[in-house]
Amino acid sequence: MTLTLAGKRAIVTGGASGIGAATAARFVREGAKVAICDLDAESAQALALELGEQNCRAWSVDVADIERVTPFISDAAAWLGGIDILVNNAGIAIPGTVIQLDPANWRKIFAVDVDSIFYASRIAIPIMIAAGGGAVVNIASISGLRGDHALVGYNAAKGAVVNLTRAMAVDHAPDNVRVNAVCPGLIETPLTQAAKDAGLWYAWTSTIPMRRAGTAEEMASVVAFLASEEASYVSGSVIVADGGMDAATGQPDLAKLASELLLNAEKAA
């Protein structure tokens, strides 16, 4: 499959690291011109320099602030010469149950994970429509499809992203604007490094049928497909990329356990 991204003009939020950075790099390799934004201005600028300033430009933006997002989208569109692709990737997670989570953090999660998509899309989509169409890819999570322990804010926000994606797809299909979401599972990024540092990696990856975390580059491949003309009839879809985790019931591998019990019994005998 040959992706048709040559000459495309793309915006990636949260583009300084992880899935956002990998997506920006993949887009540039495929011939697109990319504008990225991130709170981490230094890392965003470093990536832009690495990818080539003629191919990528960085902005320092708080995506939860409509007063910052609106001019960013307009300025990026001016530099790009239009917008063909918008990747709403920025997101945060703060742990807590409904009892534990501070209301200010509840609002912060929704501001970054959900409001930012609304803010960016409401400016970018009319620009796409004026040019004949485009593609929006929202980065959700398998946590938007199922519940996790003590992640109530993140679960609720990513669930909102999933249905916001569907609503946007329905609204803008007549405008030739496709809107899809990617739901990653465990991905090896700077944000999940803490789990490794805490010695939790094996416990986490052992619940995944593929027995490993995904990579940011693997997620970027999914995003690139959805953004390309190869996905020209795909809209309103929620693509799960989690190593098979969402496909499993969560019940233990009884055959494996039975085999281990039998082996232990034979050893004891």
Supply the CATH classification number for the domain 9-268.
3.40.50.720
Flag whether pLDDT at 116 surpasses 70: yes
Residues 212-249: tens digit of each pLDDT: 999 999 999 999 999 999 999 999 999 999 999 999 99
The pLDDT, as a whole number, for residue 231 is 97
The alpha-helical segments, DSSP class H, found in the chain are 18-29, 41-51, 66-80, 103-110, 116-130, 152-172, 193-197, 201-205, 216-227, 254-268
Cβ–Cβ < 8 Å for 11, 61? no
Domain range list for the chain: 9-268
Distance from the Cα of residue 73 to its chain's centroid: 18
CB count, 10 Å around CB of 19? 28
Mean pLDDT value of segment 159-179: 98
**Active-site pick, 119, 154, 202, 233:** 154
Task: Kindly tell me if the per-residue pLDDT of 2 is higher than 70.
Answer: no
**3-class SS at 148?**
coil
Q: For this structure, is 233 an active site residue? A: no
User: In this model, does residue 1 exceed pLDDT 80?
Assistant: no
